[in-house]
Chain A
Amino acid sequence: NAGVTQTPKFRILKIGQSMTLQCTQDMNHNYMYWYRQDPGMGLKLIYYSVGAGITDKGEVPNGYNVSRSTTEDFPLRLELAAPSQTSVYFCASTQDTYNEQFFGPGTRLTVL
Chain B
Amino acid sequence: QKEVEQNSGPLSVPEGAIASLNCTYSDRGSQSFFWYRQYSGKSPELIMFIYSNGDKEDGRFTAQLNKASQYVSLLIRDSQPSDSATYLCAVIQGAQKLVFGQGTRLTINP
* Residues of A in contact with B (beta carbons under 8 Å apart): 31, 33, 35, 40-45, 48, 50, 56, 58-59, 90, 97-98, 100-101, 103-106
In the bound complex, CA of A89 to CA of B100 (Å):
15
CB <8 Å contact, A42 and B88: yes
Contact B98 A101 (CB under 8 A): yes
Residues from chain B with Cβ under 8 Å of A103 in the complex? 43-45
Most buried by A among B4, B42, B96: B96
Q: Please measure, in the bound complex, the distance between the C-alpha atom of A59 and the C-alpha atom of B43, giving whole angstroms.
A: 20
Q: Is the CB of A106 within 8 A of B43?
A: yes
- Judge whether A43 and B32 touch: CB under 8 Å: no
Q: Known contacts A43-B88, A97-B97: does B44 contact A90 (CB below 8 Å)? A: yes
B46–A31 touching, CB < 8 Å = no
Closest A residue by C-beta to B45: A103
Cβ contacts under 8 Å, A106 to chain B:
43
Collect the chain A residues with CB atoms within 8 Å of residue B95's CB: 97
In the bound complex, how far is the Cα of B32 from the Cα of A101, in angstroms? Answer: 13
Q: In whole angstroms, how far apart are the Cα atoms of A43 and B88 in the complex?
A: 9
Q: Could you tell me if A42 and B46 are in contact, using CB atoms closer than 8 angstroms?
A: no
**Does A42 contact B96, Cβ atoms closer than 8 Å?**
no
* A99 to B17 CA separation, bound complex (whole angstroms): 30
Across the interface, B43 reaches (CB within 8 A) one of A44, A45, A100, A104, namely A104
Contact A40 B88, beta carbon cutoff 8 Å: no
B102 with A42: CB separation less than 8 A: yes
C-beta contact mask, B43-74 vs A, less than 8 Å → 1, else 0?
A: 11110010100000000000000000000000
A100-B49, A103-B43 as given contacts; A48 in contact with B88, CB under 8 Å: no
Closest to B92 in A: A97
**Residue contact B103 to A41, C-beta cutoff 8 Å:** yes
Q: Cβ of B103 and Cβ of A42 under 8 Å apart?
A: yes
A100 CA to B92 CA, complexed, in Å:
11
